[in-house]
Structure 1
Amino acid sequence: MELPFFPTLFSAVKSFVVKQAFFPTLEDWLVNHPKIREFSWHNGQTPGSSQRFLTLTVLSYIAFTFVLSQVSRPSLTRPVLKSISAVHNIFLLTLSFIMALGCLVSVFSQVPNFNTLVCFPRRTSPSGPLFFWAYLFYLSKIVEFMDTLLIILSNSMKRLSFLHVYHHSMVVIMCYMCIDSVQSSFPMVLFTNCVVHVVMYTYYLMCTLGMRPKWKKIVTDFQILQFWASFLIMAMLVFYHFTGSGCSGILSWCFNSAFIISLLFLFSDFHAKSYSPKVKGN
């Protein structure tokens, strides 16, 4: 049993894209490269794949964030801090774009239909191009801890909210679980998140360079829209799971669902407090 509209749309878009002259070149770079095609996730063997590494990484992030926010910190000159922030934002902006493109090309090259995209068959192996990009995505979330350090070094402590620390620490756990449990539908979540991050880090870069874009609200709007899209994706996963032979990683789906619900609530609360007419009036 299939959902209406989405499978047809996926097939039409895939057919159109793979016929374009640029697609074979992108496929060679982002799918068929030996390091990408031959990637395989092995718990405890692949760098960063052990539960001990995950636990120590997240706890260290939380501990260092708390300690650095409480003690006196070395002050960096504004030009130095600005340069570090610019390099950081350019790096994550570029990486997010490459991951989004790599995931999209891998989907069109490797995934036969929409059903498989949403619902990986049981006993799917975490190997190949899609899982390479998922692994890089997981590692990028650790690199994003640098966001917190830059906030602390710039003494912008108002930006160091519970939402910020909670989001950065828990998303690493979510990404780890997606790979380790071969979470169905993760390519769509990866793609939408990377697109949002391209917009977000573009905004941060412009601010770092002294510009003041007037579309800050759009960044938060995009993040909230991403969560609603995730709900749609998760709902389709459940549909295919219970109307077919089952989907891979359904247990980790429960954790992801709870996490995304909490993020939607927190981001919506942030949106209301930051952009409501009363706040603007003040």
Structure 2
Amino acid sequence: MVQRAIYYLSEHPAIVGFRWNHAQSWGATWSFLFSSIASYLLLSLFLHLSLSVCRRRRPIPLGPLPAVHSLAMSLISATIFTGILLSAEAEIRETRWLWRRSKSPLQWLLCFPLGTRPSGRVFFWSYLYYLSRFLHMVRTLLTIPRRRTLSFFHLFNHSISAFASFLWLEFSQSFQVLAILSASLVYALVYAYRFWTAIGLRATCFPFVLSCQIALLACNLACHVAVFLLHFFFKAGCNGIGAWLFNSVLNLALLFLFLNFSVRMLLRHHRSKHP
């Protein structure tokens, strides 16, 4: 069973022979990316405005949909985490002889050699992670009817997540393997917890989702610093550094919005306990 799972997650011909191609990979064009994000934003705003003009202020029950979505996202994230972990190990084992004198495995995970093309195992899972971002957006459409609010942070976060994962593939950006490993692990845990609470089980006594998001941002920040040092001070250069710089700016904006959102959520939580 273990060998069969390894085969289907890292050795299948469709995984080994994957190539990011605008003509053959679904959703691999700039027009698809921008139109999808625009459709997501417009649909979210339309749903929010439609409910705002409605006299009914109570949350709209959605039945098992939130729980089903959370369970699906948790399983997909766990599969992506396992797949890219096994694929990265296989790539390091098979290609390390090309760069073993100049890079360690950790350096390769942070800094792809110049000239790296978006093909092979890790880019297959990067592609699946990119596609999963659109399923991730569905959470906004499920949240609006229940909470009757629309958060700019959630809109920005989901849009940037899809945009960033597209850049990873388009420019064979360095650092994406560790980014996908950390993000998919956190999403697997977060959505499993949301499924747990959605079916009526007891929540934790501390903000579990917020803690996971903070850990993810801290991990991404540490990796960004490491890529910066490897590219500009220690090695000949990392592939896709232009896209990495652009992603760094987006991540800084996301970090600012996240801190602002987290502070407001903690203050609201404190006021509800101490009116």
TM-score by length of 1: 0.84
Verify: 1:50 aligned to 2:29, yes or no: yes
Matches within 5 A, 1:123-138: 123-138=115-130
Verify: 1:60 aligned to 2:39, yes or no: yes
Matches within 5 A, 1:1-282: 22=2, 24-72=3-51, 78=61, 81-111=62-92, 112=96, 113-154=105-146, 156-158=147-149, 160-215=150-205, 217-242=207-232, 243-276=234-267, 278-279=270-271, 280-282=273-275
2:274 is aligned with what amino acid?
A: G
* 1:120-179 Cα distance to aligned partner (Å, 9 max, x none): 11111101110000000000001111101111333x123x21111111111110110011
Preserved contact between residue 118 and residue 185 of structure 1 (Cα < 8 Å) = yes
2:260 is aligned with what amino acid?
A: D
Aligned partners of 1:27, 1:202: CA distance in 2, in Å? 23
Identical columns (%): 29
Aligned partners of 2:257, 2:76: CA distance in 1, in Å? 26
Structure 2 runs not aligned, ≥5 long: 97-104
Q: Could you say what secondary structure the match of 1:31 adopts?
A: helix
Q: Could you say what secondary structure the match of 1:196 adopts?
A: helix
Structure 1 vs Structure 2 CA RMSD: 2.2
Q: Could you say what secondary structure the match of 1:71 adopts?
A: helix
Aligned partners of 2:172, 2:27: CA distance in 1, in Å? 16
Preserved contact between residue 207 and residue 213 of structure 1 (Cα < 8 Å) = yes
Name which of structure 1's ranges 132-141 and 234-243 shifts more when overlaid on structure 2: 234-243
What number of residue pairs does the alignment pair up?
257
- Give the deviation of 1:263 after TM superposition: 2.1
Preserved contact between residue 59 and residue 148 of structure 2 (Cα < 8 Å) = no
Aligned partners of 1:185, 1:114: CA distance in 2, in Å? 10
Name which of structure 1's ranges 64-73 and 193-202 shifts more when overlaid on structure 2: 64-73
TM-score by length of 2: 0.86
Aligned partners of 2:82, 2:250: CA distance in 1, in Å? 25
Structure 1 runs not aligned, ≥5 long: 1-20
Aligned partners of 2:215, 2:106: CA distance in 1, in Å? 22
Q: Which runs of 4+ in 1 moved over 6 A?
A: none
